[in-house]
Amino acid sequence: MSAANQDQARATELRRLLNHAAHAYYVLDAPELEDPVYDRLYRELLELEAAHPELITPDSPTQRVGGTPAAAFSSVEHRIPLLSLDNAFSSEELEAWYGRLLKVLDREPGTALPMVGELKIDGNALALSYENGLLVRAATRGDGERGEEITANVRTITSVPLRLLLPHPPAWLEVRGEALIPDATFAAINAERVERDEAPFANPRNACAGTLRQLDPKVVAARRLDFFAYTLHLPQEPPQGPRSQWECLQWLQRAGFKVNPNAEVLPDLAAVEAFFSAWDTGRRSLAYATDGVVVKLNDLRLQDAAGFTQKAPRWAIALKYAAEEAPSRLLRLACQVGRTGVVTPVAEFEPVPLAGTTVSRATLHNADRLAELDLHAGDTIVVRKAGEIIPEVVRVLGELRPAGATRLALPNLCPECGSELVREEGEAATRCVNSSCPAILRGALRHWVSKGGLDVDGLGAKLIEQLVEKGLVGSIADLYRLDGALLASLERMGAKSAENLVTALAASRAQPWHRQLYGLGIHHVGEVSAKALAAAFPSAAELATAAATAAAAPPPSITAVFGIGAEIAQSLQQWFATPANRLLLEQLAGLGFSLAAGPGELAASAAAAGQQAPLAGQTFVLTGSLPSLSRSAAQALIEAAGGKVSGSVSKKTSYVVAGEEAGSKLSKAEALGVAVLDEAGLRALLEM
């Protein structure tokens, strides 16, 4: 054997030994090599690769240390949407979810369906893509449809296999799981930061999220992240492949992933509640943070049958633990005025540590909640984090109330502009109805330039506050009348920053119609509903006409759009009926906004063709990669033509639209006799 072949064979053997040892150490927690032996073999491989760079392979353990820092992260579309989970906070909410699930599956009330209980790790969701057994891409959740590509960072996580431990891996597969920083590692990181006079991280979850977005993979490697896998997506159902969530977990373990060992098969709802109760106590002894348990239907076929809502799978739910509580003394009652004029009372209190952060403010929601709490000046209150995120006041300890304390209530006048506050009959919200209120204007501007809206870089909250305070901006349209010289005269704004902002504002005119619609801040119109509306009504003029078709009832042409209900329709009706809003649209049009879908927005072409809901009443399922349409674009086309897009195949499915690498949905469609279309077939239907 030649020297070159000997080196190649030795490098291959070293990689095999080291990867096997790393899997035993980091995943199985069963070390097989003494540290000095591992280090010696690692150094030998490192020296071989340094002398012969052509021997370096993507699965080499030397490639975990991190390469060249990235300039930025790119946005990537998830092959399969990475949805979040619905939450339950009580037995009643869990039972209500289970009842809905039985109804969707057409099962009798009280039917026992086996489920799998898993711990809900308090970390950051990742999607890992493998091709022919090699890790090729890792991405964050993002908005569920698109995330940030962070492959170089994830390669540094030792519990993530660079090559699967499978003799014959599929052409592709995707694994979902949770990246985390264990408690002991987190404590060590913070100790090191304190020694370097750096601010400690607030909690492991935030530290993990920030670490994953580091541009330098070497920083990520130094923070020693961990990973638990919990979801498996294969291109199709292999003959001997997993048929249940439990089998998926076993499959992931065989492939080399670290799977949380505390999962259980639970035969019925009573077992779910016992599992949840046991871990409410047991989680205190874990080496990492959890905030609940996740319950999933075990049978994958039933998961497919249950399907998805717009935001979450129907076949799974997160059952959350009661939030940690802490007492504190109320300092004062403040009021915030939002962009829609809603006045929210806020309790400001002595700072307390709570669920990993220090909090000193908590929402009181509305006047009714304020009255229900019977809050008085100087009260001792009990605070918790709702869903482990948002601080809220749970109750008042009346026995500790100071003598003669004054009862607190919302003011009669707006704290921002002095206008009289209004509360409509039947509404919980108290509002300022002065459209010139500085708080409403600031909120509208922040919403317009937000990531989901026009995404104007460089126009933050402090600069918006300056512009409003100095009277330089009185509406969204005024932003586009600002010039560089004026902006450069503002505090903390240099000539270059001003020039960049003017450029960013000019570029924002080209943002697609659905972003413009969302940016207008119409009550109840979120990012998802804005996309659906923009697909069905490809211009502001068409949407305004639809909104004006009924005077006293929700416009029927709007409520006919999939996912749009009467509440949104009435809100659109009111918004377009307001003269100031119509004036804003006229001003934006005069400043160069088309307020319509451009030629690149595929939904517009369907609407412009004058089609009268050719797909009305038909249900579609999308699978695989289409030649020229992203999944979201295909969905927009179908919904604009009156069709509905579902996440699972059933006998009620009209068509399955299949592209390259179509998965188990294609197999199921063929088994059920559901018609299958390619992209050309879909377009032909749309043109009928």
Residues with catalytic roles: 120
Closest CA to 139 of 169, 84, 177: 177
- DSSP 3-state assignment of 421? strand
Cβ neighbors of 678 (< 8 A, separation 6 or more) are 626, 657, 658, 659
Q: Please state, as a whole number, how many other Cβ atoms lie within 10 Å of the Cβ of residue 674.
A: 20
Count of H-run helices and E-run strands, the chain: 25, 22
Q: What is the Cα–Cα distance from 259 to 251, expressed in whole angstroms?
A: 10
Whole-number Cα distances in Å, 517 to 40, 73, 481, 572, 634? 61, 27, 20, 11, 20
Closest CA to 81 of 631, 679, 661, 657: 631
Question: How does 513-526 read in b/e, with b if 16+ C-beta sit within 10 Å?
Answer: bbbbbbbbbbeebe
- Alpha carbon 370 to its chain centroid, in Å, reads 31
Q: What is the Cα–Cα distance from 481 to 467, expressed in whole angstroms?
A: 12
In degrees rounded to 5, what are phi and psi of residue 301?
-65, -40
- Alpha carbon 634 to its chain centroid, in Å, reads 21
Say if CB 362 and CB 393 are below 8 A apart.
Answer: yes
| SS3 labels along 227-296 | EEEEEEECCCCCCCCCCEHHHHHHHHHHHCCCCCCCCEEECCHHHHHHHHHHHHHHHHHCCCCEEEEEEE
Tell me how many degrees the CA angle 523-524-529 measures, rounded to the nearest 5.
125
> Can you read off the two tokens belonging to residue 206?
């935030």
Cβ burial of 274 (10 Å; 0-12, 13-18, 19+) is middle
Cβ neighbors of 183 (< 8 A, separation 6 or more) are 204, 287, 288, 289
Whole-number Cα distances in Å, 33 to 40, 41, 48? 11, 10, 21
